Structure 1
Amino acid sequence: MSSQEITLGWELELIVHLQPGEEPGLALEAHKLRDLALTIAQQAPNLPIAAHCIHRPSASCIICDDAPAEHRLPHVRVVNPATPIRRPSGPIEDLYYFVKREHLNVPTDDDGARLAHGYEITSPILSHAELSAGLPQTRQILGAIRSSGLTISAHTECGLHVHVGVKSGMTLNIAKKAATLVMLLELPLLKKFASPERAERRYWFIPISTKSEFICCADRVHDEVTDAIASPELRQHVPDLSKQKPAEWNNNEPNRLHLALNEIWLTDSIWRLSKGFFSYEGQKASLVLCTRERNGDSASEPSRGAPDSLEGTPSTLEFRYPPMSFDIDFVKCWAEIGCKIVELATRDVAAFRQVATDLLKELERNDASQWERLLKVLDLNHQVPFWRQQLARFEDDEPIRFLDDDGFLVPERK
């Protein structure tokens, strides 16, 4: 399957602050959402922009009360319309750069009233061709945010989430292969690129290789992967893991990682695979399998005993590792990493096994330049210069670019 079969989307979390003289609290939350959506739409008039609002279908609110009737949809104000404005079924968010509320850690006054509000901007479904072109639409959105005139900030609890799908539909086999690559790459590569500050936050960086239900299941049920419990598919796709030595990439517990991978490959449905990625505390891990019905709506748990109906649906793999960024190069590199992992997962058994073999070979060589060689195996060698610069910024305590000394977004220079 070619890379052109890959689709993607992103979520950007940010904070908009009150201005001097504005009363703290929730009253201005809708006003700030409206301001954010309108200024982005004004600066990116060629892009479809919409905003989420909460009111009865027959009513309106501050976000949408001046919009034409055809632009006031249930819970949505369309600012710049897509073509068509909406589809007969499926989520409208798939068509728009969509602005909505998001619960984030924001500053408060002495009485606990909010001095800022959290928001999320999500992209429509984007093609791999858009990524190959350097995400020009995303560049417009980031430029519009920086030129909005609003007082905006972000911290490393604010996330950049990248969704990756397959045009022909997600399959259990593709999801298992992608998860396998993530298990190999989480600690030596994805953690490194997520910034030390975010990686140290317990509830915002949750690797499936150390904290997922699959790891817990492995701990409870078995001591090692024996012939009696071994997944034939895992053996087909990945070289023998029983001889791996303790190292950073396997959290110094190679047998535990082997057991968890075996549990992944024994899983018999997309739904159960998605549940296995959750942490043992019931939280979303840093890799999420977002299950969707065929029309794109979020899927609900199948009835007990019912066959899995999620094969071939527009379900996506969500990479939640990095912090929010206003830097298009940072966003693009993370999008490329997520898309490359899924694209490799669409390859046949022999091609996938070769990639896994090459990664394991490099993981055995634990030195300072290991991450560069891992990128080369992924055919992402062109990212090396960027990550050298970005890792230096991390060392200089700059996890998010374009913020001033007080943590506020610096306007883009014209």
Structure 2
Amino acid sequence: MSDLQRSFARAKLAGLPFEPPPPPNHLVENEEDDEIDDLKPLPEAPDDDSSSASSASSASSTGTIRPSPSKHLFARPKGFSNRKGSEPLPWNDYFTRELYLKFARPTENVTYHAYITPPTAKGPLLVTHHGAGSSGLSFALFASEIRKALPDAGVLSLDARGHGETVVEKLEPSPSDAAPDLSHEILSQDLLDVIQLTEKEMKWSELPGLLLIGHSLGGAVVTDLAKSGKLGNAVLGYAVLDVVEGSAIDALQSMQSYLLTRPKNFPSLSSAIEWHTRSRTIRNTTSARISVPSLLRLDPSQPSANETKTWTWRTDLAATQPYWQGWFAGLSKKFLDAKGGKLLLLAGTDRLDKELMIGQMQGKYQLQVLPEAGHFIHEDQAEKTAMVVADFYRRNDRSALVLPPKVGDLLKANAAA
């Protein structure tokens, strides 16, 4: 087109009124429809068993959406109830049986309570120890997932003293016995007793290969037992979940403040489950439905005639304060020095202290980080935790090793020939 033609076209177009093209039919809004149309009630959200869905909610992109004031886009419809998603789930969907193991000491009689799914064939036994205030059922969903990754594996998950259904009867009670002795020495001995009593109860000729797995306080306990060497060569390795000496001791300073923010009781187990998930203490709804009911009991201070029942905590965490420092002091050195494979599973690398950072650079242990999980890493991300532990077991499975014969044995065989 020549310059003359371009000038002529511009002059013609300038004289025409501007009329934008009509929008597509599917974008045309009828004002009348806009007044009477409303969103249909949202269906009840299905119970999402995936830990990734629950843990990702804080980073959800819905925070950037601005719905119209006339459209209550995120409002719950009338009659909405999430009761189905907060009902307790039975333990026997995740373990094959429960154990009541009795043990007598000079000063006390103990009935240890534990859950077990025995190993099959020559599979390993994963022995799990929960954190302070939790119970053996905190590993229930993990136990189900690990069986998918390692079908022959078994899981033994105990209730520590002062937790769950484990009962300690003092033979000569004193006022100081009001709170249970939760020193790390006692807890480590309890874990050893539970393993040995389970061996007798299950009538095993010998212990299967053991993986010791502990969360928070439980991580300190399994590390102490592994360091003691009392289980000999049965221990293939040990895993510590989301606890590091330095950050754990620092966190103790705010522990009392945290306990003051917790409700002292709940009107129902379902309300307790909802509190744990809404506060994101536990980010996986399914795991909360299994583990939370075991943390509570009917309030014994209520009159029996009172029809309104309330549920209170089984474990008085504030009363355990004298033991907090002892649980974690020296943990990093024990973790690095104990024999066996070592796994540290964290929710963030910021939890590493100097000693562990040096050990990690020297390749002394396996480090895995799951940043999408909270502190209850084995509940929030049960499937991923199981995959990491299964890989850790395969790396440390001595049954798969074929060692060459010793030189002495070869010389003897040649001499005999």
TM-score by length of 1: 0.26
Structure with more of its chain in helix, by fraction: 2
